[in-house]
Amino acid sequence: MSLQWIDSLDIAIELSEKFPEVDPRTIRFTDLREWIIELEKFDDDPNHCSEKILEAIQMCWIDEID
């Protein structure tokens, strides 16, 4: 299964497993975007990302660790 920008929860789960030491409340969106693009399962156009998408992924990640 490949991940795309709309897969906020699945991306958040992947990030929480890859970066268990990171508090998603403190991450910069520039770093978050890079980490998502570098995920092995990520397969979408890197240019189709917006701040709204990153916020949704960040919120899912926060929910995932809480």
pLDDT in tens, 37-60: 999 999 999 999 999 999 999 999
Three-state DSSP at 42 gives strand
Residue in this structure with the two tokens 């399962």, named with its chain if needed: 41
CATH of the domain at 26: 1.10.10.600
Q: What pLDDT score was predicted for residue 12?
A: 98
Whole-model pTM: value is 0.95
Whether 29 maps to a domain, the answer reads yes
Domain ranges, residue 16: 8-65
The secondary structure of residue 39, as a DSSP letter, is S
Whether 2 maps to a domain, the answer reads no
High-pLDDT (> 70) share of the chain, %:
100
Whether 13 maps to a domain, the answer reads yes
Span between the terminal Cα atoms of the chain, in Å: 26
Q: What pLDDT score was predicted for residue 1?
A: 85
Whether 1 maps to a domain, the answer reads no
- Is 14 buried (19+), middle (13-18) or exposed (0-12) by CB count in 10 A? buried
Whether 12 maps to a domain, the answer reads yes
Q: What pLDDT score was predicted for residue 66?
A: 86
Number of compact structural domains in the chain? 1
Residue 62: band (very low, low, confident or very high) from pLDDT cuts 50, 70, 90: very high
